[in-house]
Homo-oligomer: A and B are copies of this chain.
């Protein structure tokens, strides 16, 4: 009562899903599709494989892999006898991913803290409200840092 589905279509759907969800993380859709491909296939994919299988320009692949490398989600590897670049998931991609999420939120918190620090002493109302707002971001950071520690233990 499952299983009449062939793997190719599951793969295609998965890749598209990751493409969409990447947009939530501030990555272009194509970068998400590259990541989805590498997760699903689990083996190095060449630069032109990616361009062809995703039906996008080489420029887009170049841009996407740059973004994914910067975030330490994928790494570039060499393949003997082929001078193309190959790409595969980085070593602890999910740790890096979560790290990125935490940093993004922490940065917002810092900005709020900055505003907070600039509020004149006599403006108690705004100060209290911004402090509460900053506290909210702090709670998110703490929760995600806990998740990050858990993740680090099983080396994801």
Contacts and interface: CB of A to CB of B under 8 A. Distances in A.
B147 A143 contact: yes
A144 B150 CA distance: 13
Contact of A21 (B14, B108, B129): B108
Interface string A1-12: 011011100110
A6 B122 CA distance: 11
6 contacts: A17-B112, A21-B108, A39-B133, A98-B136, A98-B140, A143-B144
Contacts of A97: 136
A147 B156 contact: no
Given A98-B139, A130-B14, A130-B40, A123 B7 contact: yes
Interface residues of A, number: 52
Given A24-B108, A115-B17, A126 B11 contact: yes
DSSP majority for the A interface?
helix
A94 interface: yes
Interface of A: 2-3, 5-7, 10-11, 13-14, 17, 21, 24, 26, 39-42, 94, 97-98, 101, 104, 108, 111-112, 115, 117-121, 123, 125-126, 129-130, 132-133, 135-136, 139-140, 142-148, 150-151, 156
